[in-house]
Amino acid sequence: MIPPPQEPATEAAPATPPEKRPVIQRKANRTWILAVVVVVILCGVVAGVGYQQKWFSPAASQTGACPTGITLEGNGAQFVQPLVDQWVSSFDSKTSNQVDYTAGGSGTGITDLQQKAVDFAVTDDPLTPSQQAGMPGTVLTLPVAGGALAVVYDVAGVTTPLRLSGAVLANIYLGKVTHWNDPSIANNNTGVTLPDATILTVHRSDAAGTTFVLTDFLSQDSPAWAAGPGTGILVSFPSAPEQVAIKGDSALLTEVTTTANTIGYTSLSGVLAATTPASYAAILNPSGTYVLPNATNTASAIADKATATTFPNSTGNWSSVSMVNAGGIGDYPLATFAYMYVVQNGNLGFTPSLDKTEVVSQWLTWIFADGQSAAAPLNYVPLPTSLVAVDQKGVQSMSFNGAAIPSCS
């Protein structure tokens, strides 16, 4: 009898041959490694190109060399031109970047910033909400220095400074006080011989920060002025018996110093730097003291008003901030800040690039550090320390395409 065939248990082939497993594993490993290498290379290429082309910015805490060869464009107030010119010269010499500042007037500076024609604007007045709304993006309001407005005049035979109150000055510009020997002027200037001559008023024809400072002061001291022309960089001056409208700060000063029986307003720094001396008035302050403008009295006014004022942050509404009529006995009442404005998000500004935005930040950082020392020698007032901190925080909030601006040196 033939036995039935038996199945050899050891010869059955496994589902996956053992000798194939190492080969398959090595191929899988090689494929995975190759994919990782490709991703790493691509990431490196993208990162390198991204930084080279300024697609994004590194964290603000990373400090590197500032971009070089950049020229910033600015426009605005003539009131602070001597100080800005000094800043420009020093900044240009200490960095490899340049700043061009055209002092075309506060109104022109604001318009240029709205139209993205400049990197920064300077005025003697805070922006109104409507001016802010016309900007290409959120604008930082950055006080850069304090200063004073001088009331200048030319009256024959008068050698001592005239004393003028805000109420009397308002009535002169309203056309209610028309002669230099008017009792409202004479009563506050005993011992001074005033001529029976018609007062010729001189004001700015263009939008000017100095007009804002004057009209802010007159509005606070004269209800009639507040209800009439009001406050602004360009107001409708009443038709006094005789008046002249002049474009430009220095041109106004020249008109007053070369024309008899005139009165006008201009920056104290411009008066003191002029080759032709000009007479300027002592102005009545809220404490009842007539104060002449000078660096000490202006600094006192800025310090006292700053202590009494809660300032907004740099992106806040500054339109109600006023530095006139500080309360101290020796405070000169026609004090003001000069403000610098920049678009907070640099990619919304003038010919935007990350490099330029970094240099704008560099320029502002320099102003609030090294630049403040140039103020006093030019008859301006350095900022209070508390306000410098507000400005610096504003500069640190600048961005480009939503990314923080790298600090540089």
Residues in contact with 250: Cβ distance below 8 Å, sequence separation at least 6, in sequence order: 78, 266, 270, 274
Judged by DSSP in three states, 204 sits in: strand
Is the confidence at residue 46, as pLDDT, over 50? no
Q: Which two tokens stand for residue 387?
A: 């306000």
How do residues 243-277 score in pLDDT, each as one tens digit?
899 999 999 999 999 999 999 999 999 999 998 88
Provide the pLDDT confidence category of residue 409 given band limits of 50, 70 and 90. confident
| % of the chain beyond a pLDDT of 70 | 84
Residues 6+ apart with CB under 8 A from 70: 97, 98, 355, 356, 359
Mean pLDDT of the residues in the chain: 87
Within 10 angstroms of residue 170's Cβ, the number of other Cβ atoms is 25
Burial class (CB in 10 A: 0-12, 13-18, 19+), 31: exposed
> Where do the structural domains in the chain lie, given as residue ranges?
71-147+310-319+336-404, 148-307
Task: CATH number for 148-307: choose from 3.10.20.30, 3.40.50.1100, 3.40.190.10, 3.40.50.2300.
Answer: 3.40.190.10
What pLDDT does 135 receive? Answer: 97
Closest CA to 333 of 269, 375, 287, 385: 287
Among 383, 388, 379, 384, residue whose Cα is nearest residue 149: 379
What b/e readout covers 94-128, taking b as 16+ CB neighbours within 10 angstroms?
ebebebebebbbbbbbbbbbbebebbbbbbbbbbe
Query: 71-147+310-319+336-404 has which fold?
Result: D-Maltodextrin-Binding Protein; domain 2 (3.40.190)
Q: Name the token pair of 94.
A: 């200490």
| Alpha carbon 189 to chain centroid, angstroms | 39
pLDDT in tens, 103-147: 999 999 999 999 999 999 999 999 999 999 999 999 999 999 999
Q: Which of 2-16, 29-43, 79-93, 339-353 has the lowest mean pLDDT?
A: 29-43
State how far the alpha carbon of 216 is from the alpha carbons of 53, 108, 209, 320, in Å. 48, 20, 10, 10
Q: How many CB atoms lie within 10 A of CB 307?
A: 12
| Chain segment 205-226, per-residue pLDDT in tens | 999 999 999 999 999 999 999 9
How far is residue 251's CA from residue 255's CA, in Å, rounded to a whole number? 6
Query: How far, in Å, CA of 388 to CA of 44, rounded?
Result: 41
Q: Comparing 54 with 133, which gets the higher pLDDT? A: 133
The answer to whether 71-147+310-319+336-404 and 148-307 have equal CATH topology is yes
What's the gap between Cα 263 and its chain centre?
A: 29
pLDDT band of residue 63 (cuts 50, 70, 90) is low
User: Which of the two residues, 150 and 53, has the higher pLDDT score?
Assistant: 150
Residue type, 164: L
Q: Whole-angstrom Cα distance, residue 374 to residue 47? A: 42
Question: Does pLDDT of 12 surpass 70?
Answer: no
Between residues 72 and 239, which one has the greater pLDDT?
72
